[in-house]
Amino acid sequence: MSAITLKVNGKMHALDVDPTTPLLYVLSDDLELRGPKFGCGLGQCGACTVIVKGQAVRSCITPVSSVAGSEITTLEGIGTIDKPHPLQRAFIAEQAAQCGFCINGVIMTAKALLDQNPKASDEQIRQAMSGVLCRCFTHVRMLEAINRVRQGTA
């Protein structure tokens, strides 16, 4: 065990965890956050995506020690029920979630992309989203929601 300090959604947390523990487990088990999901455990599906230093990161394969001291943002950190983030509002308006399992990965990946490139092209959006697996095939509605935010209509 080791003392590790994480800044998650703007709040500092001092934790005593094994430094090799996947960030996802610390977020879900120790900090009780439910946005990032365990999907494949291999960093391939995107359900566990969080934003670290502005980049979409797969938390299931990220050792907690590698992000100590970094700003980590989860789905819970971008909006609230009373004041949802524009992406969250757009996903609601487009009814872009079906089962909801992939939605964390889709929204966090889209947020990281649009934060870096607010005028991302359709192709850049499709490329970024290609790494997030959705079993329900609501891709068209998801892309429409992301486009709403890109165009400033969310």
Q: Does 38 share its domain with 11?
A: yes
Q: Does 6 share its domain with 60?
A: yes
CA 4, CA 90: separation in Å to the nearest integer? 36
Nearest to 56 by CA among 13, 14, 6, 105: 105
Q: Does 123 share its domain with 71?
A: no
Provide the domain limits for residue 127: 86-150
Q: Does 71 share its domain with 104?
A: no
Written as six digits, the tokens of 122 are 């359709």
CA 148, CA 154: separation in Å to the nearest integer? 5
Q: Does 65 share its domain with 90?
A: no
89 neighbors 53 (Cβ within 8 angstroms): no
22 neighbors 8 (Cβ within 8 angstroms): no
32-77 per-position pLDDT tens digit: 999 999 999 999 999 999 999 999 999 999 999 999 999 999 999 9
20-29 per-position pLDDT tens digit: 999 999 999 9
Q: How many domains does the chain have?
A: 2
Written as six digits, the tokens of 8 are 């998650």
Q: Does 91 share its domain with 73?
A: no
User: pTM value?
Assistant: 0.93
